[in-house]
């Protein structure tokens, strides 16, 4: 085990140092990631608790709600404590509940970024991520729009999301990409190649769906045995595995519940051994 594998923090883009367990703010909206949450005061309390407990990286997007997640973050946390990094995204639109449509045209990205700046009440977004690849728009055009926003001082760093290794390599030729956000968890390692490229190049890798939306709460085989050895819940083990998988992972588990948040946060204190990683598959 190397010291870096167990590092508690990660530095993104050379200047944003944050704890490696972040918070995903998609689940603080209404059902279908649409509209207001059933308990708005509860969502505000959760966000405040997240920051009180030392989490300093929150992931959101204009499309969560839409707008609701960003608005709640500002309502709960603005003026923001020093060092809190709020990462948002643009490039997906919301025709309705559970419905997502890519729009990574430069004009849309400019408009989306302006909307996020306003809702988050910031002058510059620390990490702005292209939410997806839009088959109708060349990646070069979308990335060029983000570079323009960066030059205009509206965004500090550029990240990308839902990319394969070739798309990541292409984006890296067009701009300084500091992070990748892809679906990845103990049961779904389809993006191993992308994670390996991020590890090689020192890019932060934000595994979304890190708990498979709670289904990893039902452990089996080696997973159950290792969890029991650490007196850990299955979701804690799923996060501990991600933290140990590479020094560049920054999991962003999402929840609407303070109890689940506290449970998940405790994963940062679990350090899996090489043998346990081998039993779980790396
Ligand atoms: N880039 C993208 O395309 C993309 C796509 C999806 C998500 N994301 C980001 O990734 C973040 C995480 O993804 P996700 O929310 O889809 O997946 P996730 O974190 O794997 O799962 C969240 C779900 O798991 C449940 N959960 C959380 N902690 C639990 C626990 N300790 N025990 C049992 N159930 C638990 C939550 O329900 P409760 O509310 O009941 O706790 C919630 O429904 C999102 O918030 C968002 O920021 C990005």
pLDDT at residue 217, as a whole number:
66
Q: Which atom of ligand 1 is nearest to the CA of 60?
A: 47
Euclidean distance between CA atoms 268 and 34, whole angstroms: 30
Tokens for 92?
A: 């997906």
3-state secondary structure 123-161: CCEEEEEECCCCCCCCHHHHHHHHHHHHHCCCEEEEEEE
pLDDT at residue 8, as a whole number:
92
Q: How far is the CA of 271 from the centre of ligand 1 (A)?
A: 22
Q: Which residues, 6+ apart, have CB-to-CB distance to 253 below 8 Å? A: 21, 23, 24, 210, 211, 235, 239, 264
Q: How far is the CA of 140 from the centre of ligand 1 (A)?
A: 30
Q: Which atom of ligand 1 is nearest to the CA of 260?
A: 31
Identity of the highest mean pLDDT range in 3-17, 39-53, 227-241? 39-53
pLDDT at residue 210, as a whole number:
92
Give the Å distances, CA to CA, from 101 to 17, 24, 95, 136, 158. Answer: 32, 20, 7, 11, 21
Task: Mark whether 80 is an active-site residue.
Answer: no
Q: Which atom of ligand 1 is nearest to the CA of 181?
A: 1
Supply the residue whose CA is at minimum distance from atom 28 of ligand 1. Answer: 260
Would you list the DSSP string of 34-102? BSS-S-HHHHHHHHHHHHHTT--EEE--TTTBTTHHHHHHHHHHPSPPTT-EEEEEESEEEEETTEEEE
CA 50 to chain centre: 15
pLDDT band for position 212 (cuts 50, 70, 90): confident
pLDDT at residue 95 tops 70: yes
Percent of the chain with pLDDT over 70: 96
Q: Which domains does the chain have, with CATH numbers?
A: 6-214+247-254 (3.20.20.100)
DSSP code of residue 19: E
pLDDT at residue 4, as a whole number:
42
Comparison of pLDDT for 150 and 216, the residue scoring more:
150
Mean pLDDT of 148-154: 98
Does 210 sit in the ligand 1 pocket, CB within 6 Å? Answer: yes
Q: What pTM value is reported for the model?
A: 0.97
Q: How far is the CA of 203 from the centre of ligand 1 (A)?
A: 22
| Residue 233 and residue 264 in contact, taking contact as beta carbons nearer than 8 Å | no
Backbone angles phi, psi at 4, to 5 degrees: -65, -35
| Residue 168 and residue 180 in contact, taking contact as beta carbons nearer than 8 Å | yes
């Amino acid at each position: 085990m190397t010291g870096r594998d167990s590092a508690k923090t990660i530095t993104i883009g050379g200047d944003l140092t944050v704890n490696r367990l972040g918070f995903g703010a998609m689940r603080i909206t209404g059902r279908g990631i649409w509209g207001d949450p059933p308990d708005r005061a509860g969502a505000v309390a959760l966000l405040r608790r997240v920051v009180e407990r030392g989490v300093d990286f929150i992931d959101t997007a204009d499309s969560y709600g839409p707008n609701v997640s960003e608005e709640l973050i500002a309502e709960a946390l603005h003026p923001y404590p020093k060092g809190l990094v709020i990462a948002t995204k643009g490039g997906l639109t919301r025709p309705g509940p559970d419905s997502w449509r890519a729009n990574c045209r430069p004009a849309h990205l400019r408009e989306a970024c302006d909307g996020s700046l306003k809702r988050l009440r910031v002058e510059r977004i620390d990490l702005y991520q292209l939410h997806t690849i839009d088959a109708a728009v060349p990646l070069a055009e979308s990335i060029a729009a983000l570079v323009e926003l960066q030059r205009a001082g509206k965004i500090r760093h550029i990240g990308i999301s839902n990319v394969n290794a070739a798309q990541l390599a292409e984006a890296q030729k067009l701009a300084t990409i500091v992070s990748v956000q892809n679906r990845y968890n103990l049961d779904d390692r389809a993006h191993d190649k992308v994670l390996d490229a991020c590890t090689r190049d020192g890019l932060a890798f934000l595994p979304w769906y890190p708990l498979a939306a709670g289904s990893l709460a039902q452990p089996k085989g080696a997973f159950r045995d290792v969890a029991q050895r650490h007196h850990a819940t299955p979701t804690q083990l799923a996060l501990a595995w991600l933290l140990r998988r590479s020094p560049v992972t920054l999991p962003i588990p999402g929840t609407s519940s303070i109890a689940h948040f506290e449970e998940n946060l405790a994963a940062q204190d679990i350090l899996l051994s090489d043998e346990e990683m081998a039993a779980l598959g790396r």
